[in-house]
Structure 1
Amino acid sequence: MKSMTGYAKVEKVSEKFKVSCEIKTLNSKGLDVFVGVPYYLSSKEIKINRIIANRIKRGKAYLRLNVKFLTPVDLNIDYVMAKSYFESLESLREQLGIQNLLSVGDLLIFKEIFRGDFSDEVVEELWEFSESVILDTLKRLVDEREKEGQKLFVELNDMIQKMKEIVESISSLSFKLKGEIAKKIRENVEEILPEKVELDVNQFETAVALIADKADIREEIARLKSHLTRLEELIRSDEPVGTLLNFLTQEVHREFNTILSKSRMLEITNYALEGKYINSQLKEQVQNIE
Structure 2
Amino acid sequence: MVVSMTGFGRGRIETEQVAVTVEIKTVNHRFCEFNIRIPNQLAKIETHLKKTLTTYIKRGRVEVHVTLEGQATTKRGIQIDWDLLDQYVRYINEIKDRYGLSGEVNLHELIGRPDLILIEEKDEENEEIETLVLQAAVQATEGVVQMRLQEGKALEADVKANILHIKEHSQVVRNLAQLVVEQYRERLSKKMVEFVGGQVDETRILTEVALFADKADINEELTRLESHIEQFLKILLLQEPIGRKLEFLIQEMNREINTIGSKANDSKIAMEVVEMKSFLEKVKEQVQNIE
Shorter chain as denominator, the TM-score bin is 0.7 to 0.9
Structure-2-length-normalised TM-score: 0.82
Matched residue count: 254
Match of 1:195 among 170, 173, 197: 197
> In the alignment, what sits opposite 2:37?
36
> In the alignment, what sits opposite 1:9?
10
> In the alignment, what sits opposite 1:20?
21
Taking the aligned partners of 2:136 and 2:29, their CA distance within structure 1 comes to: 25
Taking the aligned partners of 2:128 and 2:59, their CA distance within structure 1 comes to: 31
Are the equivalent residues in 2 in contact too, given 1:27–1:287 (CA < 8 A)? yes
> In the alignment, what sits opposite 1:88?
none
Per mean C-alpha deviation after superposition, the further-off stretch among 263-272 and 225-234 is: 263-272
Runs of 4+ in structure 1 displaced over 6 angstroms?
77-80
Per mean C-alpha deviation after superposition, the further-off stretch among 139-148 and 166-175 is: 166-175
Taking the aligned partners of 2:49 and 2:73, their CA distance within structure 1 comes to: 27
> In the alignment, what sits opposite 2:124?
118
- Once the two structures are superposed, the pairs formed by residues 200-211 of structure 1 within 5 Å of their partners are 200-211=201-212
Letter in 2 for 1:235: L
Secondary structure in 2 aligned to 1:74? Answer: strand
> In the alignment, what sits opposite 1:54?
55
Give deviations 1:36-91, integer Å, cap 9, x for gaps.
111100011111111122211111000010011254852256789xxxxxxxxxxx
Letter in 2 for 1:116: K
Aligned-pair identity (%): 30
Give deviations 1:83-109, integer Å, cap 9, x for gaps.
xxxxxxxxxxxxxxxxxxxxxxxx9xx
Match of 2:132 among 117, 129, 135: 129
> In the alignment, what sits opposite 1:92?
none
Taking the aligned partners of 1:270 and 1:210, their CA distance within structure 2 comes to: 24
Unaligned runs of 5+ in 1: 81-106, 108-112
Structure-1-length-normalised TM-score: 0.82
> In the alignment, what sits opposite 1:146?
149
Is the radius of gyration larger for structure 1 or structure 2?
2
Change (3 A) 1:77 1:211: farther
> In the alignment, what sits opposite 1:85?
none
Letter in 1 for 2:6: T
Taking the aligned partners of 2:80 and 2:260, their CA distance within structure 1 comes to: 76
Change (3 A) 1:203 1:73: closer
Unaligned runs of 5+ in 2: 82-113
> In the alignment, what sits opposite 2:85?
none
The answer to whether residue 185 in structure 2 is matched with residue 185 in structure 1 is: no
Change (3 A) 1:78 1:23: farther
Taking the aligned partners of 1:243 and 1:153, their CA distance within structure 2 comes to: 15
> In the alignment, what sits opposite 1:95?
none
Taking the aligned partners of 1:27 and 1:72, their CA distance within structure 2 comes to: 34
> In the alignment, what sits opposite 1:259?
260
> In the alignment, what sits opposite 2:99?
none
Taking the aligned partners of 2:6 and 2:163, their CA distance within structure 1 comes to: 22
> In the alignment, what sits opposite 1:160?
163
Change (3 A) 1:207 1:132: same
Are the equivalent residues in 2 in contact too, given 1:29–1:59 (CA < 8 A)? yes
